[in-house]
Each structure stands twice: as C-alpha cells, then as structure tokens.
Structure 1
Amino acid sequence: MRFAVLGSGSSGNSTVVEAGGTRLLVDAGLSAKQLVTRLQSIGADPGSFDGILLTHEHGDHIRGLRVLLKQMPVPIYATAATARVVKDTGIEGATWRVFTAGQGFRIGAFEIEAFAIQHDAVDPVGFVFHHQESRFGLLSDAGFVTRSMVDRLRGVHGLFVEANYDDALLEADTKRPWSTKQRISSRHGHLSNAQAAELVAELAHPGLRRVVLGHLSQDCNHPDTAISAIRCSLERAGHRHVSLHCACGEVSPWWSLVEEPRFSLEFCD
C-alpha cells in the first residue's frame, strides 16, 4: 500500500491511496485543473481511479469535485448527510455510494472503515484503509480526539493526521479575531500539535512506520515546529523508529507502508 498527498491546508486537501490494483482519491479540495496536474506529476492517470471518498463537505475538501467528475466519472463515497449537502452545491449526475460512520465497506482491494470525528461539519469522518496486512489511517479536520477515534486507528502502519496549529503561535497571531481562534481550538475545530503528538504517541507501536502531518496553518504553525512536537512525544514513548513528514501545499512523493523508515538523528532533551 502507498499514498500521496496532492495538497493539504486551507488552500485545498486531497490524498491518493492505492494498493492491489485499486486507486482511490480522498477529498477533492483543489481545483480540478490542479488535481489533474498533480495526479499526472505522480504518474496517476485520472482515468485509473475506482472511487472518490469524502471526509466532509467543506470547500477546501470538495472544491474541484464537480469539474473533476467529468474526467473521473467514478462513484462518490460519503455519508448520507454529507452527500445531501454536497449535492446542493450543484453536483449532478454523480453515482453516490452512501455509508454510515462506524460502518465497514469494500472498494476493490481495500477494506475500509469509516469513523466519526469531531468537526464543524454535518457528518465528518476519518478512514482506515486495510489491504492484506497493511493498515493506513487518515484523520483530517478534527477538533478533539475521542476514545472511539483512537480505537479505530489503533494498529495502523501509516497515518496521515492533522497538526493544524501551535498553541503559542495561535495565541500570538494578530490576523485572526478572538472568535476565530476560539473556533479553531474548540472541540469542533482543528487539532493542535500537542493534540496530534498525544494521539500519535498513543497509537505508536513497532509496526507504525510512517506518520505524515497535514493541514498545517501557514500563520500559526511551521513544519519544523510540528515535527519536533510529534518526534519528542514519540521518543518519550520509546518509538524513535517512526518516519515523520509534513505535507503542506505542494504535491508529496509517494509514501509506502512497506519500505524501511528513515531513523531520525535529532533527539529531544
């Protein structure tokens, strides 16, 4: 199994996951032109996909969906509430496959579990993708980590997780009014570095090979700050073997769940 992040952040979110001849797109928050260009840059033909999965209905996760479907006429997988809201944006003629949070379903070579998350959307979800012995978890746009979310993600070999803001940088930010800061840090907002670090440390096990941090705020976070927080948490838990990366605005390389991770040479005090 491998995955690539086409974009992550307020400018647009989209991830490709593939294994066993099945290729899936999770969210389509960039313009259709950008999505196609970035897919082609990693060698993924838009005509080779088996489905599009939606985490929720916000514009930075569905922006390019309507136009993209003309080049990628595949089923859209979403909860009933998310599908209803997305249809109201003017998406017509699509084939919808509705699932319920907490339900498992199959697409090609993948067994997929959807789980409910906390965010200011109608019915947001995260996913765990299973293929043979590999498990990949995807958690984006979640304001609070619940015990149910941890239980669903336990045992993953790869994880994409939001690390949106650093607490001190958010507090010091002068661009955002207090009400916006409150929404971001609320239980239905976004995950901080500290929250992501606590989650990753709890999920860490000898088989966790790779963690990719996403949805970083340009003003209230920095890749080095986010990676340092997660690395320190992992090292305190005795898991120095995990390979850490940040996915920001540009397309990422393919990340595999089977290759050996790169060991870090930086350690915490």
Structure 2
Amino acid sequence: MRFAVLGSGSGGNATVIEAGGVRVLVDAGLSAKQICLRLKAVGIAPESLDAILLTHEHGDHVRGLRVLMKALRTPVYATASTSHVVREGLDGIRWKIFESGGRFAIGGLEVESFAVPHDAVEPVGYVFRAAERSFGLVSDTGHITEMMLRRLRGVESLFVEANYDDALLEADLKRPWSTKQRISSKHGHLSNAQVAEFVGGLVADGLKRVVLGHLSRDCNTPETAISALAACGLPVCCAGQDEPCGWHEEMPACGIEFAADELFGGLPAA
C-alpha cells in the first residue's frame, strides 16, 4: 500500500491510494486538469482509477468532480447525504452509497469509514487496509472523538489536517473574530497542538509516518507544524497546495508552497 497527496489546502484537496493493483482517489477538490496532471506526475493514469471516494461536499473537496467525470467512468463513493448535495447537476455518475461508519471493499482494498465533526452534512474519514498495511485519512475535522481514535488505532500511516497554529491564528489581522471562532470550533479545523496530541496517542499502536495537510498560509507554516510533532519521534511531511507530495514509502520533501486561503464552499479555513 502507498499513498500520495496530490494537493491539500483551501484551494483543493485530493489524495491517491494504491494497494494490490487497486487505485482510488479520495476527494476531487483540485481542477480536473490539475488532478489528471498530478496523477500522471506520480505515475498514475487517470483512467486506471477504480473509484473516487468523497469525504464531504465542500467545494475544496469536490470542485473538480463535474469535469473529471466527463472523461472517466469511475464509480463515486459517498454517504447518502453527501451524494444528495453533490449530485445536483451531475449526470451519468455511478454512485456507490455507503452509511457513515460502514465498511466495504474495492477489489482487494478494504475501506472503513467513520464520522468526523465538521461543518458539513455528513463528513467522514477513512481507514484503508490491504494485506497487513493500513492507512488512515482525516481531513477537515474540528476535534478528535473517542470513536475516531478507536477506528485509527493500529494504522501504519496517517494523513491528517494541521490547519493552524493557535498563536498565529490569534495574531492574524485578516480574519474577524467570528471567523477565528468558527475555525477553532469543535466543527472547524484542527490546530497543531490538537494534531500533536492526536498523533501522540497513536504512536504506541504502531503508527510509523504522518503527512500533514490543509495548512493555512497565514496561520501556520510547515516548520511550525512539524515542530509541534517533534516529541512523537515519527517521520513527518507537510503536503502543499501547488504540487503533489511523493509516495509515502520514500518520505521525500513535500511541496510547501501554499495558495491563498480561498474557500470554495463550506467553513472558512484558517
């Protein structure tokens, strides 16, 4: 099993996972053109995708789906509520509906979903398993619940958002107080400190590597985010907005250039 973050941030999110000959894309928030270019950059032909999975309906996670599906016949997996919001105006998509918390298989890849607290209709995270490998993905969540911890215990690799640094968010002059409150709310986004506590709680259960995503350009930096996790003693990489992060097995330096914090639907990011 391996994964590569094609892009992560307020400008668009997408991650590709490959295991046992199965290739899935999680979220399609980049433009269709960028998704295809970045898939090819990591050696994946877009038409070889076996499935597209959605975490939630916000624009920075689905905005490329309409154009992408004009070229692909790939089935799209989502919860009923998420698909209900996204499917408006989208014709010809083969929807695969699952219940939040449900499990299903795509070829030899086992997928387990779980609910996350975020300002969306029915947001979910995922755990992917194949053979003895496992990968957890948590994007856009305001806090970590006990149920999330239970689902993620034992994962080998983890992608998780680290949206903001508390001090940088407090000092930010671009965002009004109300926006800062929404960002740091229990249905907003995760801070570096929250991620550090979360990751620290998974180390004893076999976590080996972490990729951080959805970093705010104004209220976080890769250096600050990585420093917050130093005590965990794990390899940590920050995925950026403008280029794909390499396959996790190699843990290369990842892109750290971040686009402006524009919001294409949903809760403003820090």
Scaled by the length of structure 1, what TM-score is found?
0.91
Give 1:72 shift.
2.2
Paired amino acid for 1:38: R
Paired amino acid for 1:248: G
- Matches for 1:198-209 after TM superposition, within 5 Å: 198-205=197-204, 207-209=206-208
In the alignment, is the contact (CA less than 8 A) between 2:154 and 2:205 conserved in 1? Answer: no
Other structure's SS at 2:223 match: helix
Paired amino acid for 1:253: G
Give 1:70's aligned residue.
70
Paired amino acid for 1:114: S
- Matches for 1:51-200 after TM superposition, within 5 Å: 51-88=51-88, 90-200=89-199
Give 1:253's aligned residue.
246
Paired amino acid for 1:36: C
Q: CA offsets, 1:179-229, max 9 Å, x none?
A: 110100000000000001000000113732210000000000000000010
Give 1:59 shift.
0.2
Q: Over aligned residue pairs, what C-alpha RMSD do you find?
A: 1.2
Q: Structure 1 runs of 4+ off > 2 angstroms?
A: none
Give the unaligned 5+ runs of structure 2.
253-270
Give 2:18's aligned residue.
18
Give 1:100 shift.
0.8
In the alignment, is the contact (CA less than 8 A) between 1:81 and 1:123 conserved in 2? Answer: yes
Whole-Å separation in 2 of the counterparts to 1:84 and 1:43: 33
Paired amino acid for 1:116: A
Scaled by the length of structure 2, what TM-score is found?
0.91
Give 1:267's aligned residue.
none
Give 1:41's aligned residue.
41
Give the unaligned 5+ runs of structure 1.
235-239, 263-269
In the alignment, is the contact (CA less than 8 A) between 2:153 and 2:205 conserved in 1? Answer: no
- Matches for 1:2-17 after TM superposition, within 5 Å: 2-17=2-17
Give 1:231 shift.
1.6
In the alignment, is the contact (CA less than 8 A) between 2:9 and 2:216 conserved in 1? Answer: yes
Q: CA offsets, 1:134-174, max 9 Å, x none?
A: 11000000001100000000000000001000000000000
Paired amino acid for 1:54: L
Q: Which has the higher contact order (CA 8 A, sep 6+)?
A: 2
Paired amino acid for 1:255: H
Whole-Å separation in 2 of the counterparts to 1:243 and 1:132: 23
In the alignment, is the contact (CA less than 8 A) between 2:4 and 2:247 conserved in 1? Answer: yes
In the alignment, is the contact (CA less than 8 A) between 1:46 and 1:71 conserved in 2? Answer: no
Paired amino acid for 2:83: A
Q: CA offsets, 1:106-155, max 9 Å, x none?
A: 01111110000000000000000010111100000000110000000000
Equivalent residues, number? 251
